[in-house]
Amino acid sequence: MSSKKNAPAELSETTEKPSKPKKGLLYIIRRVFVTFALIVVTLVVGTTAFFITLHFMAESSTYRASYAENASIREIAENLPVEGDLLAESEESENIQENGFIQLSALDAEMLQINPDYVCWISIDGTRVDHPVVRGDDNDKYINTSFYGEFNDLGALFMDYRNVAGSLDNIIIYGHNSRQGEMFGDLHLLRNKQFFDEHRIITITVNNNIFEYEIFSVRLTNTNDPAYTVFFDSHDDFYEFADNNGAPLQGSQIITLSTCVSRGNENARLIVQGYALSGERTFGY
């Protein structure tokens, strides 16, 4: 006896496939917004990367130019006679002494020929601070003018223009903070205690005379710091200034080196101060 098997009801009946919901206006707006946002982000990231690349290329070019110039100046200095003076008569020498003939060292004579604003040579052992120092008619010129008189964002090391006869108790020298260490970039090394303990002498060379300053203060500060004081009404005022800045020997000439800290804060500064070990004045004019 045979039996008929009926197909399952769900297979035997025809079923309709569910239709896809229509995409509404809100969905379209979201897609457009997301696409637009992605385009904007891509443009911003790409533009930022482009300008950062340009910035580092420019900075690298500035550094290379400054490095090449400083290397050239140091080579000139190293090849000059170590002893003996040169008799020089030139307009360039007037910024040291207003006489017709003056006795200059070979280094001073050569540097003055390159730049009449030259005043001294500064160096700090263990760092790349080994440069000539100039002094202009203001504190703006050498911010972006090199020792050779060329435009360069790293400029030159320059003494405060106010440091003239009668205002030499606190000699201030400014220099840019280069990440690669040029100019005053290596001053930041002195914030390390071990490095500071091993490299505490600032050397100033003027006319074959070597003056040493022992560093007594390295600190982060700002442009309003009293360390930038140049004029003092009396010796007592200077003694008070020296004591307030932590100088261990009152009455000695102080040297203050100043450099920027970061581009984020235009007023932030790192200053390094030293006092004259010999008690003699580096500049007598």
**Residue 253 belongs to a domain:** yes
pLDDT at 99 over 50: no
**Residue 145 belongs to a domain:** yes
The strand pairing partners of 173, in sequence order, are: 159, 257
Give the model's pLDDT for residue 251. 67
Give the model's pLDDT for residue 77. 76
The strand pairing partners of 144, in sequence order, are: none
Percent of the chain whose predicted confidence (pLDDT) is above 70: 73
Distance of CA 197 to the CA centre of its chain: 22
The residues, ordered by sequence, that sit 6+ positions from 104 with a Cβ below 8 Å of its Cβ are: 85, 86, 87, 88, 93, 96, 112, 207
Q: What is the pTM of this model?
A: 0.72
Domain holding 255: CATH number? 2.40.260.10
**Residue 101 belongs to a domain:** no
**One-letter amino acid identity for 232?**
F
**Count of domains for the chain:** 1
**One-letter amino acid identity for 61?**
S
106-156 pLDDT per residue, tens: 899 999 999 999 999 999 999 999 999 999 999 999 999 999 999 998 999
249-278 pLDDT per residue, tens: 766 899 999 999 976 688 999 999 999 987
**Residue 200 belongs to a domain:** yes
Distance CA 161, CA 175 (A): 14
Closest to 153 in 3D by CA, of 8, 31, 263, 33? 263
Give the model's pLDDT for residue 93. 43
**Residue 41 belongs to a domain:** no
115-126 pLDDT per residue, tens: 999 999 999 999
How is residue 111 written in tokens? 């540097």
Can you give the residue range of the structural domain that contains 79? 51-83+117-276
144-201 pLDDT per residue, tens: 999 999 999 899 999 999 999 888 999 999 999 987 778 999 999 999 999 999 999 9
Give the model's pLDDT for residue 104. 73
Distance CA 228, CA 142 (A): 18
**Residue 11 belongs to a domain:** no
Closest to 190 in 3D by CA, of 129, 134, 247, 130? 129
Distance CA 283, CA 285 (A): 6
Distance CA 249, CA 232 (A): 17
**Residue 103 belongs to a domain:** no
Burial class (CB in 10 A: 0-12, 13-18, 19+), 107: buried
DSSP 169: S
Give the model's pLDDT for residue 56. 44
**Residue 197 belongs to a domain:** yes
Q: What does the longest C-alpha to C-alpha distance in the chain come to? A: 143
Q: What is the DSSP string of 154-175?
A: T--EEE-TT-STT--SEEEEE-
